[in-house]
Amino acid sequence: MKFLTVSDIVGLLILSCFPLQTIHAPQKDNGPLKSFADSLRSKGIGTSEHSLVAALKNDDPEVRSLAANQLAQMRDTAAIPEMKKALSGEKKPKTRIEIAAALAALGDPKGLQELSTACSDKSKATEIIIEATQQLQVLHASSKPCENQILERAMTSVDYRAESISLLLPTFPAVSDVPSERLINFLTDMLGDEKQTPEVRIQAGHVLGEIGPPNSKLTIEKAILAEKDQTVRANLMEDIKVIENRQKP
């Protein structure tokens, strides 16, 4: 499963013509990027409201997701009741997240509720928790409910560790939010563990730099001395600057 990069998210924010938007990148079939509408047409689905509402019941979960995204992109608030029905009946976890995000983009609170519930549900697969959290963050909604599960997956899911750590920072929306000792200890361990990927070490340093306690500067300085990867070292040096700026009166 491919997760959005920062570039993907920034691009979508720039290109979007409405305030809230879902974060799914256009579909790609080994060629140029396709819009939601083009992807639907390639599957024989029209883009009128009637066709899109009907597509919410399509047997293909990708079509159901595309239809919800297209309705959101069209700002079709009249379709919200049908989208809510589709969400209630949806069995595929990934498709549920995508329909929920489309509803949230249209301003319906049920969409945000579904995303918050999914990202905090310990029974969900890691990729579902990560995608629900990503959706909330790009929609500028609180991802605080996701904090515990994102940290748990960062600690236990090696394949998703870097993505999980990168999502931790936005779960602390206020400067007054104090990270747990468990979180700080985990980030410190990841930062100093040369067996972790460079991306994991970079993300750990970044989160420590932004929300870590005052002694995080010393922790990162020690990591810089031991770090062999020049890219990681450069990123950690930037994290030191962030800490210094935070500590200015």
pLDDT, residue 45, reads: 96
Residues 94, 28, single domain; the answer is: yes
**In a shared domain, residues 9 and 122:** yes
Task: Point out which residues pair with 33 in neighbouring strands.
Answer: 28
- Amino acid 11: pLDDT: 37
pTM value is 0.82
**Whether residue 211 sits in one domain with residue 201:** yes
Q: How far is it, in rounded angstroms, from Cα 51 to Cα 40?
A: 10
Tell which of 99, 121, 141 closes a domain.
141
pLDDT reported for residue 95: 97
DSSP string, 178-232: PPPHHHHHHHHHHHT-TTS-HHHHHHHHHHHHHH--TTHHHHHHHHHHH---HHH
Instruction: Tell which of 92, 113, 141 closes a domain.
Output: 141
* Pair 72, 117 in one domain: yes
Indicate the residue type of 172.
F
> Is the same domain home to 157 and 246?
yes
Distance of alpha carbon 101 from alpha carbon 36, whole angstroms:
15
* Eight-class DSSP state of 3: P
CATH of the domain at 124: 1.25.40
> SS3 helix, strand, coil % of the chain, rounded to 5?
65, 0, 30
Q: Is 11 found in the same domain as 119?
A: yes
69's tokens: 């995204």
Question: What is the C-alpha separation between 57 and 61, in angstroms, rounded?
Answer: 9
- Residues in the chain, overall count: 249
Q: Return the pLDDT at 5.
A: 39
For 84, the token pair is 């809510």
The residue among 80, 74, 81, 67 whose CA lies nearest residue 21 is 74
10-residue block means of pLDDT along the chain (249 residues)? Answer: 39 38 46 81 96 97 97 96 98 97 97 97 96 95 93 95 94 71 95 96 96 93 96 97 89
What is the C-alpha separation between 189 and 176, in angstroms, rounded? 24
What is the extent of the structural domain holding 41? 1-141
For 143-164, the three-class secondary structure string (H helix, E strand, C coil) is CHHHHHHHHHHHHHCHHHHHHH
Last residue of a domain, one of 88, 107, 141: 141
Residues 109 and 48 placed together within one structural domain of the fold: yes
- pLDDT at residue 105 in the model: 96
